[in-house]
Structures are given as structure tokens and as C-alpha cells.
Structure 1
Amino acid sequence: MENHLFTQKVNGINIYYELFGDKSNKPVIVLVHGFLSSTFSFRRLIPLLEKDFTVLAIDLPPFGKSEKSTRFKHSYHNMSIIMIQLLEQLHISKAIFVGHSMGGQICMYAALQKPELVNGLVLLSSSGYLKRMAKPLIYSSYIPFFHLIVKRRLEQQGVEHNLLNVVYNHSLIDQEMINGYSEPFLDHRIFMALTRMIRQREGDLPPEDLHKIKTPALLIWGEKDKVVPVSIGKRLHQDLPNSIFIALENTGHLVPEERPEEVYTHILNFLCNQRMNLE
């Protein structure tokens, strides 16, 4: 059986990724997950996309199976640099970037930093306009063993509770989904890395930077999104000069889990309308 699962050292950090297809004869599509998530969130979308694309799904540090380093600066800028460098190591010079939630913000950072790499942007309920963490929380993150407070807070919320908040159709939530979103948190080091992220994550891109992104962009939102409301998507649509906005009825925040077929179809239509080569 062909191996699709890989780990590669990028800028001193072990990065986990999944690669499906032969990048020599199919266009590359890069999947970037959201906060507290991993490549697992694209499990229903990948089988559809790999019919037409070489699919590269990445676990951003410290999430999923990527390294939970206490040396890495967990900023959006650095995460996007890691992503860019991984593509360079894999000899990928151009790709379509698909980002969910926080991953959408990372993709926009990449498009701003290296526009020649990003052939198209697909933003699935992307985060937008978030400021830095409040200063009291940033200062608190320096308290010894603060990571235990982070761990306790996440445990109190629980994965199932969080899934109920991000998925509109609760019948989709089964044990496989709960296990998949729980697995990364079995590694205790993630809480120390998340503590660093609290103090190191800069804010989302401001409108003046969004205006500079000329890359064609498709924005897909769930109308019932409780995490990143549809109003954020419409605002991003206004600030991204070359964008299209689509809202899906009866859909929550976890768009690639809830509506993979519709996302796949909209991506194909978007790329065809942009006359991008899919051969």
C-alpha cells in the first residue's frame, strides 16, 4: 500500500503532512486546518479532491502530529513561513491554498508574503479581524505551570461540547469524530505550546493588508456558523479585492466535515471560472 503519511523537518521543526497523488501531473491543492484541529478535519474532502488534484494536507505546529516545540515561535507569520518552506522542499512552485478557520488566516498570510506561490485561495469559515490576546492573559501566560490552566480549561470544555458548537447537524458527531479531534491532546506538550501561542500570536491581517492580496479567492461560509459569523465572511469579501462569497444553508463552522461535496463542487467551479489549468 502506498504511503501517504510523512514527517519532514522544516526550519528545525518536525512537520507532519499527508500527500495524495502525483504532483507532476495534477495541480497541487494545499489543505490547512483550523485552531485545535488537524488534517483529520479534511478526511471527507480529501477523497473528492484527489480525483482532480495532488492533495497536500499539513498539520501546523503545534497541532495534530506535528512537533509541539517549546522553541518555535507560534505566530501566524512563522506558521505561514513553515508552510511555504515545506512546499519549497517538496519542489512545489504553485498551489491552490484551502484554509479552514485559523488556517484561512494562515493562507492569507502566505498569499501576502509569497503571492507567486498561491495560485488561488479558498477560505472556509476563515478567521478574520481578531486582535492579539488581551494583555492580562499574555502576562498570565508567563506564570509557571500556566499550561496546566490551559489544559484544565480545554478539558472542562471537552471535545464533544466543542463539536456541538461547531457542527450544525449534530447527527454527524459520532465516536470516530470525537476520537479524531481528541487525539492531538493526548500529547501533554501541546498545552505548553498553546501557552506560547497565547503570547506570540499576532492579530489577524488588518484591512490595509487584505487589500494587497490580489489572489483570486473563494469564500465559503456556513450560515449557522457560531464561531466565525457569516458577517465576518461578508466583510472579508469586501476587503479581498478579487473574491467570491458563498453561504451554505443549515451549515455550521466545520464546513469541510459538514458539506464536503458542496465544497468540492464550489472549488471546481471557482477554478474553472478563473480559467486555472486543471489538466
Structure 2
Amino acid sequence: MATIEIRSVLHAYEFSKPTSCPDTIVFIHGWLNSRGYWQPIISRIGVDIQCLSYDLRGFGESQASTHSKNARELLTSSNLTPNYGSYYTSDVTHSFESLYTPAAYAQDLITLLQKLQIKSAWLVGHSLGGTIALWAAAKLPDTIKGVICINSGGGIYLKEAFEQFRAAGQKFLQVRPRWLSQVPLIDLLFSRTSVARPLDRHWARQRVIDFVVADPEAALGTLLESTTEEEVNTLPQLVAQLVQPVYFLTGAEDKVMEPKYVRHLASFHSSFQYSGDNVIEIPNCGHLAMLEQPDAVSNEIRRLVAQHSSGA
């Protein structure tokens, strides 16, 4: 692991070895996740294409100094019991000054690409990471050659549903007490959430760790900022203006971002045509495609990048 400073926060990132391919694939994780979720994919395609994965600001090991010590300790120990009580106040819904919008995270990504001198990249984003990838592609079209969104879609704002989602999300984030790790078989719960089939216990445990170590402001800020009416309604316009190829991989059994919402957002891109040519549905797959179906996801990424690299 290496680190690089962006917005006064040390961002953790990892590079695979250089290859003859002129492009770099940059992986962007989703909400309450971290860069490690991409390892099953990178282990399969990293031999052919150089890969970059990193932790978003406030997640994984990309933490502000006031929070990084707790995060590092949790990531390297079996104790999942930090005390975040001091972070939560009655003013948890205060303004985040646009630090946690998808566009702000896209700017972080652009800074990362520039500092690492990456001149040609494909972006692969999961869930929230897909939205960040779309924003970055709009801001940096000369460098970003294409986008692959995984379990990522939307673009339809349903007021009541989104208000309920935000309220539930805020309550969910506040339930991170010291005794969490003492709950019997807590990792089994995380192994079954949002997936079509239970995950391996290793990944379930990683989900618990990422849930607990996420910086409270970043976790809440990204939840609120990515689900505003303006943000949701902007997504289709964003996709429509992109000149790069944009593809959407969706899990057939994804209950978090259902295939119909993925297809809706994909339909605004010129490559959708009339039959959804830019949508690939993966069978027996929920919301964590890179962990549930790594072979299928890897094969599609390799195929799509090669297809456009060869000018096909």
C-alpha cells in the first residue's frame, strides 16, 4: 500500500505491475466499502492490464488524521470496537459544504490520476463509485477512455422513497457501538446482506470492518449528498453528455439497485440504442458483483477494454 495526499487527507492506493496495455483500469469502491473488494478482479486481469485501486476519502485507510488511528488499528486487529460516540451529535445533518458530493469525490479522483501521471484510464465503479466515475469522465474526457458501472444506476427521484432511505441510512450509521463485535455471528449477517448467495466469511468480516471504520462525516455526507433530488435528476443528463463508451453491469438479483433502474440510467447514453446494448446482466448475482461473480465481471471488463483498445 502507498499513500498520496488529496484535500489534506492521505489516500491509500495500490498499483498492480505495468503491462503492455496503454490503459490503466481504476477501480472505485462503493459506500461503506474499501479498495480490497476489487482484489478478486485485479488478481484475474492485473496480468494483462495495469490496475489501480484506492480508498475514497473517509473510507478504508483514507482517513483524516483525527480518525486514522482508530481505522488503522481496526484494519490490523480482530477488535471491531472503536468508540465513535463523540462524532455523533444532535447536528448530524449539518451542511457538509459539498465535500461529500459525487462531484467532489470525482475531483479527488482526477487529482489522484494527475498526481500519479495516468494519461489513459478506464474507470470501473461499484454502486456510489459508479456515480463518481461518471462525474470524473465528464470532467476529464481526454484522459478517461471509458466507464464501466457495476451495480450502479438510478436517475429517478421518488420523494417518499428517498426520504425513507435517508432516514433508515442515518439510523443504520448510528448503530456502531462498542459491543458490535460481541454480537454472535455478526459476520454471518454481513455475509448475507444485499447478495444473492452468502459471501465467504473473509468478505463478511471485511464488510463489518469497513462499516465500523468509515469516518462518520464521510459516511453520512455521501449518503445525504448522493440522494438529493438535484443529484438524482442530474445523473441522466450526465450520462447523456458523455462521449466515451459507458457500460453497466447489473446483478439479476440485485435488490439494492434493481436491473430496471440500471437500464433506465443506461438508456440515456448513445450506446444503449434500442435494446440496451450497453447493459450486461449477470445471473445469480446481487449487489456485490465483484465478490459474487468475479469471473463474469473480470471477463466483461477485459472484453470491453480490449474491444475499444483495438478500435472495434
TM-score class, shorter-chain normalisation, is 0.7 to 0.9
Structure 2 counterpart of 1:51:
47
SS at match of 1:224: coil
Aligned-pair CA distance for 1:214: 1.6
> Could you say if the C-alpha distance between residues 185 and 20 of structure 1 is closer, same or farther in structure 2, counting changes exceeding 3 Å?
same
Q: Which of 125, 131, 134 pairs up with 1:99?
A: 125
Aligned-pair CA distance for 1:26: 4.8
Aligned-pair CA distance for 1:198: 4.4
Structure 2 counterpart of 1:164:
192
SS at match of 1:104: helix
Rounded Cα–Cα distance in structure 1 between residues aligned with 2:267 and 2:291 = 26
Q: Does 1:150 align with 2:173?
A: yes
> Could you say if the C-alpha distance between residues 247 and 25 of structure 1 is closer, same or farther in structure 2, counting changes exceeding 3 Å?
closer
Q: Which of 225, 241, 245 pairs up with 2:270?
A: 241
More helix by share: 2
TM-score, normalization by structure 1: 0.82
Q: Does 1:81 align with 2:107?
A: yes
Rounded Cα–Cα distance in structure 2 between residues aligned with 1:136 and 1:263 = 32
Aligned-pair CA distance for 1:234: 1.2
Cα root mean square deviation, aligned? 3.1
> Could you say if the C-alpha distance between residues 212 and 94 of structure 1 is closer, same or farther in structure 2, counting changes exceeding 3 Å?
same
Number of paired residues?
Answer: 263
* Maintained 8 Å contact 1:65/1:184: no
Structure 1 counterpart of 2:16:
20
Identity of aligned residues (%): 22
> Could you say if the C-alpha distance between residues 273 and 60 of structure 1 is closer, same or farther in structure 2, counting changes exceeding 3 Å?
same
TM-score, normalization by structure 2: 0.74
Aligned-pair CA distance for 1:186: 4.1
* Maintained 8 Å contact 2:16/2:51: yes
SS at match of 1:206: helix
Q: Does 1:192 align with 2:188?
A: no
Rounded Cα–Cα distance in structure 2 between residues aligned with 1:130 and 1:178 = 31
Rounded Cα–Cα distance in structure 1 between residues aligned with 2:30 and 2:128 = 4
Higher alpha-carbon deviation: 61-70 or 29-38? 61-70
Higher alpha-carbon deviation: 60-69 or 123-132? 123-132
* Maintained 8 Å contact 1:165/1:226: no
SS at match of 1:167: coil
Aligned-pair CA distance for 1:275: 3.8
Rounded Cα–Cα distance in structure 2 between residues aligned with 1:274 and 1:25 = 12
